[in-house]
Amino acid sequence: MNAADLHTLTGAYVLHALSPDERAEFERHLLLCPACGQEVRELAATVGKMGLAMAVTPPPALKQHVLRRISAERQEPPRVSRAHRGAARRGRAASRFVLAACLAAAAAFGGVAAWQHQEARDAREDAQRSQRQAEELASVLAAPDARVSATKLPEGARGTVVVSHSRNKAAFLTSGLPKPPQGKVYQLWFEDGGKMRPAGLMDPAVTDNAVLMDGPVGAASGMGLTVEPAGGSPEPTTDPLALMRFPT
């Protein structure tokens, strides 16, 4: 590697993007080149400030992406024969490099931060939703007017429906229910005057469920359980595994 090429490696050196042999050769060059030493210190300080400004762990693929971009961008070699002009050109090249690095880091880390913030917010909302559903389920099961009816389900499983008209809600509990076929899900229905109204899906990975049925009981006189495609259906597509009258 010639001397002109060594002058262009300050950014890659600071970002630890050199091979062991290149790093050793560049460090020998640093002992003889005060201009590159100064540039390395300035770039290292900039990178340090960026790290302190946003302490976010990037995804594993980000480092390789940045290194690929660095290898594709050629830094302008300085004219080392004229010290002042060469220093100015190195300064401009370094400025372009730092600006590009800052913009890439800001975009990448900003995207990671936004993604992590959204993930955290979604997790909080899911937890709050689950807590509300659990509290509502408990209120139905413990309601003074709760009425219970049980039935047998396929393969020895059992299903129990609990209805509270004062809460205008119903819950469905299962024990030993086999997992549905791949790509399928158990769906609950309210029976309104012979018509079936969607009332939520059951977790296909759980055999013992306690589910608060979606929507109000209203005028429903019973409920049904069917096997539907993943995501559910607007109306039943298979014969019911169970049809239960609501207890009065």
- Each residue's pLDDT tens digit, 116-134: 556 666 666 666 766 777 7
In a domain, 129, yes or no: no
Q: Quick check: is 139 in a domain?
A: no
Q: For residue 191, give the H/E element and its range.
A: strand 184-192
CA-closest candidate to residue 162, choices 152, 177, 176, 151: 151
Q: DSSP assignment, residue 213?
A: P
The CA-atom distances, in angstroms, between 248 and each of 2, 127, 142, 145, 195 are: 92, 34, 17, 10, 20
d(Cα 92, Cα 104) in Å, to the nearest integer? 18
Residue 132 lies in a domain: no
Which of 98, 117, 136 is the endpoint of a domain? 117
Does residue 180 sit within a domain? yes
Q: Are 95 and 20 in a shared domain? A: yes
**Residue 97, in any domain of the structure:** yes
17 shares its domain with 109: yes
pLDDT averaged over every residue in the chain: 74
162 and 107 within one domain: no
Question: For residue 74, is it within any domain?
Answer: yes
- Please indicate, yes or no, whether residues 157 and 230 belong to a single structural domain of this protein: yes
Instruction: Say yes or no: 193 and 239 in one domain.
Output: yes
**8 and 104 housed in the same domain:** yes
SS3 (DSSP) at 83: helix
In-domain check, residue 218: yes
The DSSP code for 208 is: S
Beta-ladder partners of 167? none
Burial 91-122 (b: 16+ CB within 10 A, else e): eebbeebbeebeeebeebbeebeeeeeeeeee
Indicate the residue among 69, 100, 117 that finishes a domain.
117
| Pair 153, 207 in one domain | yes
**Number of Cβ within a 10 Å radius of residue 226:** 22
Note the pLDDT tens digit of each residue in 51-104. Answer: 444 444 555 565 565 556 555 555 554 444 444 445 444 444 444 455 455 545
Q: For a pLDDT cut of 70, what percent of the chain falls above it?
A: 62
Q: Are residues 107 and 46 in the same domain?
A: yes
Structural domains of the chain, count: 2
180 & 222 share domain: yes
pTM of the model as a whole: 0.50
**40-52 pLDDT, tens per residue?**
777 766 555 444 4
Helices (H), the chain: 3-7, 10-14, 20-30, 34-53, 60-72, 83-141
Report the sign of the C-alpha dihedral through residues 55, 60, 61, 64, in that order. Answer: positive
Tokens describing residue 42: 């300035």
> Do 153 and 112 fall within a single domain?
no
Q: Note the pLDDT tens digit of each residue in 154-190.
A: 888 888 899 999 999 999 988 888 889 999 999 999 9
Pair 51, 58: CB distance under 8 Å: no
Residue 35's closest CA among 1, 84, 70, 99?
Answer: 84
Half-sphere exposure of 199 (CA within 13 A, CB side): 25
Residue 135: inside a domain: no
Q: What's the domain range around 158?
A: 147-245
Residue 160 sits in the same domain as residue 100:
no
**Residue 152 shares a structural domain with residue 57:** no
What DSSP assignment string belongs to 163-177? EETTTTEEEEEEESP
Instruction: Identify which has the larger pLDDT, 207 or 181.
Output: 181
- Indicate the residue among 66, 95, 117 that finishes a domain: 117
What's phi and psi for 129, nearest 5 deg?
Answer: -65, -45
